[in-house]
Structure 1
Amino acid sequence: MSSTLPERLLPTLQSDDVIALASGQEVAVRLYGRKKTGEASPLVVHFHGGAFISGDLDNGCTVAHLFEAVGARVVSVAYPLAPEHPFPQPLEIGYGVLQWAFKHRTRLAGKGAQVYLAGEEAGGNLAAGVCMMARDQRHPPLAGQILLSPMLDPCVGTPSLRAATGSATDCKWAQGWLQFLRSACDAVHPYAVPSTAQRLAGLPPTLMLVGLNDPMRDEALAYAGRLEAAGLSVTRHVFDKAQQWPDALLTPDPRPCPCAQEVQEQFQQFFAATRCRPPDLIS
């Protein structure tokens, strides 16, 4: 299959297809939104959640639709799941889709479209890891990363997560990490666990969104704090009325997700704040 963007993807608000990466691999994606005549839209490469071991494009539709609602074009990725496809395979696929999206950014979102990475729960981890890959490869340039309740701590022992799981000795997040990481070496690799990376310089601006009673709250805010301490631009927001995050973000449901209006406002503000970047970032 050709890696050229099929014309039939352009007229619809949502469409599924399979794209060919530079590596020769084929990946299913779902595109949201529509290219606007004469203007550029934010182009978001998006990763759904599911604790690395479950989930599909349908589970990513809630967050993808929120991006679409504020005018972004979204490429949602059906990345391979553990345990059949542990680290680094999901990230390699994700980076390949990012390269593909950047190559086709003008046709997808207009001339000068800026590219973002985004994800919720395990998808937030993948977005953060792919962001580091792009920095280290010096391509493609990114305008920002948007992380919603990202799953970042393989120790699975933060106070917010313990509060959510109670006295349980196991949980889906612990199982997900066990299946995603093949060895102790993987557990200290910055692409697998971005929150423990020793080098944070050079990463783009970050938008970090969590719920007040979110199991992922503490690990997400700790990572935001590390990024800030490294001198990077970070915007964080805690939704005090978000119920059952991150699970509510992963449910294919036609009803608006919790705090939908607030989430969209955060997206809009972040896109506006990162719109004027140096010319080399949008070349």
Structure 2
Amino acid sequence: MNTQWHTIENGGTDQPPLSVRVYKGEGENRTPPLVLYLRGGSFLEQGGQCPELPVARALADKGAVVIEADYSTTSCNEFPAVIDCAFEALDCLSNNRKLYGSAKSLVFVAGEEAGGNVAAGLALKARDRMPGKLAGQILLSPMIDPLMASTSFRDADKIGMRQRWAEGWSHYLAKACGFAHPYAAPCQCTRLNRVAPALIFTAEDDPLRDETVNYAGRLSEAGVQVRQHVFPVGSGWTGLYRGEGGKWLSAVCTEFADFVQDLKH
């Protein structure tokens, strides 16, 4: 698979052109699911020339068209610019489905770690600004709780992430008025009804497990369709934070395929 970064116009808004990278497999699919993918990086890494993403590549190999958007460079990884940039990318993808798939292709947003935060916030904004256009959200260990006080988070030091995540939250919220805005910290949102169905991943040894599982539960309680997968200890899941693949990749693809099929019925 050969992927290259290129820029696309975003509907004549005041936002600069979007930088995207398209992952597309060899198989033929007349109505492939379209996935806007947002990488991790703890709100500290810039996009542009980053390595390919294992999850994005794996989903594309299974028939999806994955569009990785560089939400960080133009936004400087600061809220609310990050959400504004990601929303422009989602709106552009939704309005240009035929360019990547077909008019009948379902549109999804996916994100890992910090990108999972953006994906969750984006799903909330899509509910409010473009209702009915987002088919689902895929959250892979979303970094959604700036308090970082969960029981599972104690394990963050074991993989060297506590300080990094603390610095990332500080940077992301530097221009925000606190962290109560639901688009910035989705776990703080008190109105989760009518948000797009969710496919959510974490692992038993994931420092972000508690906030991920709690958010999945709150979505379900709000009447949102939720499909959750918790990997066992030792599955290599925390390699996700370093852009590494593992045994869990095939399970992610299988769960995604089943998630899409459920939404089609």
TM-score of the aligned structures, taking structure 2 as reference length: 0.90
Partner of 2:5: 16
Over 3 Å counting, the alpha-carbon distance change for 1:98 and 1:36 in structure 2 is farther
Alpha-carbon distance between aligned partners in 2 of 1:263 and 1:38, rounded to the nearest angstrom: 20
Alpha-carbon distance between aligned partners in 1 of 2:176 and 2:122, rounded to the nearest angstrom: 20
Superposed displacement of residue 13, structure 1: 5.3
Q: Contact conserved, 1:47 with 1:60, CA < 8 A, in 2?
A: no
- Where does structure 1 lack aligned partners over 5 or more consecutive residues? 1-11, 277-283
Alpha-carbon distance between aligned partners in 1 of 2:161 and 2:197, rounded to the nearest angstrom: 36
- Deviations for 1:174-206, whole angstroms, at most 9, x for unmatched residues? 110000002663400000001110111110110
Counting aligned pairs with the same residue, the percent is 33
Is residue 12 of structure 2 the alignment partner of residue 51 of structure 1? no
Over 3 Å counting, the alpha-carbon distance change for 1:79 and 1:228 in structure 2 is same
Among 53, 71, 79, the alignment partner of 1:79 is 71
Superposed displacement of residue 140, structure 1: 6.2
Comparing 258-267 with 188-197, which one deviates more in the overlay?
Answer: 258-267
- Deviations for 1:115-154, whole angstroms, at most 9, x for unmatched residues? 0000000000000111111111135611100000100110
Among 207, 211, 225, the alignment partner of 1:219 is 211
1:101-120 matches, within 5 Å, as 101-120=93-112
Q: Contact conserved, 1:119 with 1:147, CA < 8 A, in 2?
A: yes
Q: Determine helix, strand or coil for the equivalent of 2:18.
A: strand
Superposed displacement of residue 169, structure 1: 11
Q: Which amino acid aligns with 2:144?
A: L
Alpha-carbon distance between aligned partners in 1 of 2:178 and 2:129, rounded to the nearest angstrom: 20
- How many residue pairs get aligned? The number is 262
Superposed displacement of residue 243, structure 1: 4.3
Over 3 Å counting, the alpha-carbon distance change for 1:187 and 1:147 in structure 2 is same
Alpha-carbon distance between aligned partners in 2 of 1:177 and 1:82, rounded to the nearest angstrom: 18
Alpha-carbon distance between aligned partners in 2 of 1:84 and 1:107, rounded to the nearest angstrom: 28
Q: Which amino acid aligns with 2:258?
A: Q
Alpha-carbon distance between aligned partners in 2 of 1:126 and 1:66, rounded to the nearest angstrom: 21
Partner of 2:134: 142
Is residue 265 of structure 2 the alignment partner of residue 273 of structure 1? no
TM-score of the aligned structures, taking structure 1 as reference length: 0.84
Comparing 146-155 with 60-69, which one deviates more in the overlay?
Answer: 60-69
CA RMSD of aligned residues (A): 2.5
- Deviations for 1:72-106, whole angstroms, at most 9, x for unmatched residues? 00110111259944101111110000011111112
Comparing 146-155 with 61-70, which one deviates more in the overlay?
Answer: 61-70
Partner of 1:234: 226
